[in-house]
């Protein structure tokens, strides 16, 4: 594997690229030297290629308390198959950090997938029981990252990136407002004297400060995209800011007769400030949607059967507590990790995408998010409550991979290429028929006027707003690509019960139930309690009979629930 060398960064640390400050050697501290040695020894030198000259990982923190790993390790030991885990991570700054974390994970046996969300500081893992979680955590710490338990309020607290953007926006708006105020004097006729010179110098200083504070957001984004061979929407913005700044600076030091008068600095400053306001609004909507998702993640609509003294009782999953006994019927969702009292077949397609049912023996832990594939009346003891259940992570998964339409990307790429071509054409045309000053002025105007705000701000903002409105109307979008595929839908097929209807029918005439004897009522109660069909639930609500946990019932396709009792076969749901 190719190894990166950082000797070209004279006077800076070979690992973190921070100034050495007179320290002899190649590293600023022992921690950076240790991390660099680990990366090189493990063949992970590509981290430096992806990172470039930007500051790298900090020195690894002191060995943190690892007691929080014990519950996660217990879940892994008791699991019978793939398990999903979440941990928080600090120190993720760029694509190189994401690549390094994924590379470290890929080297651990038993790991299936690792999804790093830099904006939330969260890592989602899918691992086999053989995965050595503690060893992986130590490996992550050894390369300079701090990890810990997934905290529920981490996403609501906001990220350092959002705070930095807010600070940049506030400073840029303040600087731009002052630049505009000073430039008004130049616009209204202040053309000579010492006061004129002071106004020019202030406009220049404020404009440059605005570009330095706010323009870096777009320049960094454009540069990183170019390093990956991509054309980003921030590219023409960055080029326009740079060209206008260089032209105005040249004009300022040339005495004001250049392509852009010194007063033009206020326009550059306002342009940068407005772009940052738009970017901040976009980030704010994204943060609000994520916060709303965390506050209302869809779990309030989940119900489960809890076995109580008088039989199964339908309760909200939010009411479940460790030690409660679940009574699972065929097709029921396992809302929390639970220990099975008997062998059962479970579908894990919501967890790992495998539709083939898997058999779990008595005493095994049924993972949250699994569905009972067959049978009925299986009991399971809750290990956690819903707040600590991995099911909440499954419900929140769609926001981890934000929608990024390939069509929008292609249109944006073509648009950026067209803008750059138009700017280059304008520059060439004015160079042939005008002066260099005019060419710079026209080219800058083209880049500023054709700023791709509609794509760079409106498109992501529209997607976030659409998600927000759909959620308020009760539509939970699990797949981020749904909105892209909906225009191609020509026919929809609905299951009537519970989809086009409320799914909660009520038995109006109970005369047939009154005609049954006590034994028949007990059998009917047992069959209805082991079925998930809405009509079975209506029958169960209307029955006043004791619950028999010993009843053995099976659900046969097209035959409903059936059982044998006293030499007779009883069926519910089929003639």
- Residue-wise pLDDT for 293-321, tens only, equals 444 445 555 778 888 877 788 777 878 88
C-alpha torsion 416→418→449→166, nearest 10: 0
Contact (CB, 8 A) for 531 and 555: yes
In a domain, 109, yes or no: yes
Contacts of 488 (CB under 8 A, 6+ apart): none
Do 528 and 561 lie in a common domain?
Answer: yes
When mean pLDDT is compared over 133-147, 281-295, 531-545, the highest value belongs to 133-147
When mean pLDDT is compared over 16-30, 207-221, 276-290, 465-479, the highest value belongs to 207-221
pLDDT score for 339: 92
Prediction pTM value: 0.44
pLDDT score for 4: 40
Query: Which residue, 237, 261, 240, is CA-closest to 249?
Result: 261
Q: Does residue 397 or residue 433 have the better pLDDT?
A: 433
Q: Tell me the C-alpha distance between 106 and 110, whole Å.
A: 9
Do 165 and 280 lie in a common domain?
Answer: yes
Which one of 110, 127, 149 terminates a domain?
A: 149
Residue ranges in 22-114 assigned as alpha helix (H): 30-41, 46-51, 69-78, 95-106
Asked whether residue 528 carries a pLDDT value surpassing 60, the answer given is yes
pLDDT-derived band at 42 (thresholds 50, 70, 90) equals low
Lowest pLDDT segment from 83-87, 338-342, 398-402: 398-402
Do 266 and 340 lie in a common domain?
Answer: no
Task: Summarize the confidence of residues 413-434 as an average pLDDT.
Answer: 85
pLDDT-derived band at 442 (thresholds 50, 70, 90) equals confident
Q: Does residue 233 or residue 175 have the better pLDDT?
A: 175
In a domain, 402, yes or no: no
Asked whether residue 458 carries a pLDDT value surpassing 60, the answer given is yes
- Residues recorded for the chain: 575
Do 128 and 186 lie in a common domain?
Answer: no
pLDDT score for 468: 66
From the number of C-beta atoms within 10 Å of its C-beta (0-12, 13-18, 19+), residue 432 rates as exposed
From the number of C-beta atoms within 10 Å of its C-beta (0-12, 13-18, 19+), residue 250 rates as middle
Do 99 and 219 lie in a common domain?
Answer: no
Which one of 337, 369, 389 terminates a domain?
A: 389
Other beta carbons within 10 angstroms of residue 374's beta carbon come to 15
Contact (CB, 8 A) for 505 and 535: yes
Which one of 389, 406, 422 terminates a domain?
A: 389
Task: Summarize the confidence of residues 325-339 as an average pLDDT.
Answer: 86
Do 457 and 557 lie in a common domain?
Answer: no
Contact (CB, 8 A) for 72 and 85: yes
pLDDT score for 122: 85
Contact (CB, 8 A) for 103 and 129: no
Residue ranges in 188-212 assigned as alpha helix (H): 194-210
Asked whether residue 496 carries a pLDDT value surpassing 60, the answer given is yes
Mean pLDDT, the chain, rounded, equals 74
Lowest pLDDT segment from 48-52, 212-216, 272-276, 516-520: 48-52
Give the H or E element holding residue 127: strand 122-127
Asked whether residue 389 carries a pLDDT value surpassing 50, the answer given is yes
Return the structure tokens found at 139: 């490996």
Q: Residue 112 is part of a domain; what is its CATH number?
A: 3.30.70.100
Q: Residue 307 is part of a domain; what is its CATH number?
A: 2.70.150.10
In a domain, 316, yes or no: yes
Compute φ and ψ for 539, nearest 5 degrees: -65, -40
pLDDT-derived band at 154 (thresholds 50, 70, 90) equals very low
Do 259 and 180 lie in a common domain?
Answer: yes
Asked whether residue 384 carries a pLDDT value surpassing 80, the answer given is yes
Asked whether residue 399 carries a pLDDT value surpassing 60, the answer given is no
Asked whether residue 562 carries a pLDDT value surpassing 60, the answer given is yes
Q: Does residue 170 or residue 410 have the better pLDDT?
A: 170
Asked whether residue 406 carries a pLDDT value surpassing 80, the answer given is no
Q: Does residue 142 or residue 207 have the better pLDDT?
A: 207
pLDDT score for 330: 76
Do 198 and 138 lie in a common domain?
Answer: no
Do 128 and 168 lie in a common domain?
Answer: no
Q: Does residue 352 or residue 423 have the better pLDDT?
A: 423
Q: What percent of the chain has pLDDT over 70?
A: 67
Return the structure tokens found at 473: 């109307």
Asked whether residue 549 carries a pLDDT value surpassing 50, the answer given is yes
Compute φ and ψ for 561, nearest 5 degrees: -85, 140
Do 175 and 280 lie in a common domain?
Answer: yes
How far, in Å, are 275, 493, 500 from residue 489 at the CA level?
Answer: 37, 11, 19
Phi-psi region of 503 (alpha: psi -120 to 50; beta: other; left: phi over 0): left
In a domain, 503, yes or no: no
When mean pLDDT is compared over 129-138, 212-221, 546-555, the highest value belongs to 129-138
Do 185 and 288 lie in a common domain?
Answer: yes
- Over the Cα atoms of the chain, what is R_g? 32
In a domain, 45, yes or no: no
**Strand, coil or helix: what is 392?**
helix
In a domain, 348, yes or no: yes
pLDDT-derived band at 55 (thresholds 50, 70, 90) equals very low
Residue ranges in 450-570 assigned as alpha helix (H): 453, 459-472, 482-485, 511-514, 518-529, 534-542
Residue ranges in 296-434 assigned as alpha helix (H): 349-352, 391-396, 406-433
Q: What is the DSSP letter of 44?
A: -
From the number of C-beta atoms within 10 Å of its C-beta (0-12, 13-18, 19+), residue 328 rates as buried
Do 209 and 322 lie in a common domain?
Answer: no
Query: Which residue, 468, 493, 482, is CA-closest to 401?
Result: 482
Task: Summarize the confidence of residues 390-394 as an average pLDDT.
Answer: 69
Q: Tell me the C-alpha distance between 364 and 362, whole Å.
A: 6
Contact (CB, 8 A) for 413 and 231: yes
Query: Which residue, 253, 262, 268, 250, is CA-closest to 436?
Result: 250
Contact (CB, 8 A) for 8 and 15: no
In a domain, 485, yes or no: no
Q: Does residue 232 or residue 204 have the better pLDDT?
A: 204
From the number of C-beta atoms within 10 Å of its C-beta (0-12, 13-18, 19+), residue 145 rates as buried
Asked whether residue 380 carries a pLDDT value surpassing 60, the answer given is yes
pLDDT score for 174: 92
The boundaries of the domain holding residue 226 are: 161-294+452-468
Compute φ and ψ for 13, nearest 5 degrees: -65, 135
pLDDT-derived band at 62 (thresholds 50, 70, 90) equals very low
Residue ranges in 118-159 assigned as alpha helix (H): 133-142
In a domain, 313, yes or no: yes
Asked whether residue 51 carries a pLDDT value surpassing 80, the answer given is no
Compute φ and ψ for 537, nearest 5 degrees: -65, -35
Other beta carbons within 10 angstroms of residue 227's beta carbon come to 12
pLDDT-derived band at 50 (thresholds 50, 70, 90) equals low
Q: Total domain count for the chain?
A: 4
pLDDT score for 381: 92
Q: What percent of the chain has pLDDT over 90?
A: 4
pLDDT-derived band at 189 (thresholds 50, 70, 90) equals confident
Contacts of 530 (CB under 8 A, 6+ apart): 329, 330, 376, 377, 551, 553, 555, 561
Lowest pLDDT segment from 9-23, 29-43, 245-259: 9-23
């Amino acid at each position: 594997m190719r190894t990166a060398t950082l000797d070209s960064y004279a006077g800076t640390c070979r690992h973190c690229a921070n100034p050495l400050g007179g320290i002899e050697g190649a590293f600023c501290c022992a921690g950076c030297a240790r991390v660099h040695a680990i990366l090189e020894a493990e063949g992970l030198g590509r981290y430096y290629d992806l990172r470039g000259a930007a500051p790298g990982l900090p020195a690894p923190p002191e060995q943190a308390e690892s007691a929080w790993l014990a519950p996660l390790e217990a879940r892994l030991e008791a699991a019978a198959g793939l398990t999903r885990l979440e941990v928080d991570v600090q120190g993720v700054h760029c694509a190189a950090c994401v690549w390094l974390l994924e590379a470290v994970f890929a080297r651990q046996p038993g790991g299936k997938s690792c999804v790093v969300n830099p904006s939330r500081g969260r890592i989602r893992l899918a691992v086999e029981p053989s995965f050595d979680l503690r060893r992986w955590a130590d490996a992550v710490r050894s390369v300079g990252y701090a990890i810990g338990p997934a905290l529920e309020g981490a996403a609501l607290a906001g990220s350092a990136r959002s705070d930095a953007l807010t600070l940049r926006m506030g400073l840029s708006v303040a600087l731009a407002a002052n630049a505009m105020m000073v430039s008004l004097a130049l616009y209204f006729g202040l053309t000579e004297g010492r006061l004129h010179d002071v106004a020019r110098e202030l406009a220049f200083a404020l404009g440059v400060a605005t570009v330095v504070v706010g323009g870096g957001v777009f320049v960094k984004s454009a540069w990183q995209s170019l390093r990956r061979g991509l054309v980003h929407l921030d590219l023409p913005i960055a080029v326009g800011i740079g060209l206008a700044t260089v032209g105005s600076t040249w004009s300022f030091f040339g005495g004001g007769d250049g392509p852009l008068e010194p007063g033009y600095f206020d326009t550059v400053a306002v342009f940068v400030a407005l772009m940052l306001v738009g970017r901040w609004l976009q980030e704010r909507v994204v943060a609000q949607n994520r916060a709303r998702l965390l506050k209302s993640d869809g779990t309030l609509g989940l119900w489960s059967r809890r076995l109580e003294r008088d039989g199964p009782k339908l309760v909200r999953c939010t009411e479940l507590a460790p030690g409660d006994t679940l009574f699972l019927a065929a097709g029921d969702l396992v809302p929390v990790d639970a220990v099975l009292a008997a062998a059962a077949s479970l579908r894990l397609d919501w967890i790992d995408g495998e539709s083939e049912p898997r058999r779990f023996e008595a005493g095994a832990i049924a993972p949250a998010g699994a569905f009972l594939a067959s049978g009925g009346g299986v009991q399971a003891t809750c290990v956690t409550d819903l707040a600590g259940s991995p099911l909440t992570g499954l419900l929140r998964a769609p926001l981890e991979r934000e929608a990024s339409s390939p069509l929008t990307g292609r249109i944006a790429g073509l648009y950026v290429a067209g803008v750059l071509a138009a700017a280059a054409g304008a520059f060439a045309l004015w160079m042939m028929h005008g002066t260099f000053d005019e060419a710079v002025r026209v080219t800058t105007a083209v880049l500023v006027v054709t700023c791709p705000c509609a794509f760079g701000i409106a498109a992501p903002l529209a997607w976030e707003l659409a998600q927000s409105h759909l959620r308020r109307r009760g539509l939970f979008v699990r797949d981020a690509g749904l909105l892209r595929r909906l225009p191609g839908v020509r026919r929809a097929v609905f299951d009537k019960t519970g989809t086009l209807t409320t799914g909660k029918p009520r038995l109006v005439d109970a005369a047939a139930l009154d005609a049954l004897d006590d034994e028949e009522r007990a059998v009917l109660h047992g069959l209805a309690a082991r079925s998930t069909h809405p009509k079975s639930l209506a029958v169960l609500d209307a029955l006043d009979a004791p619950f028999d946990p010993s009843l053995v019932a099976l659900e046969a396709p097209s035959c409903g629930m059936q059982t044998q009792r006293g030499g007779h076969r009883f069926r519910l749901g089929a003639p």
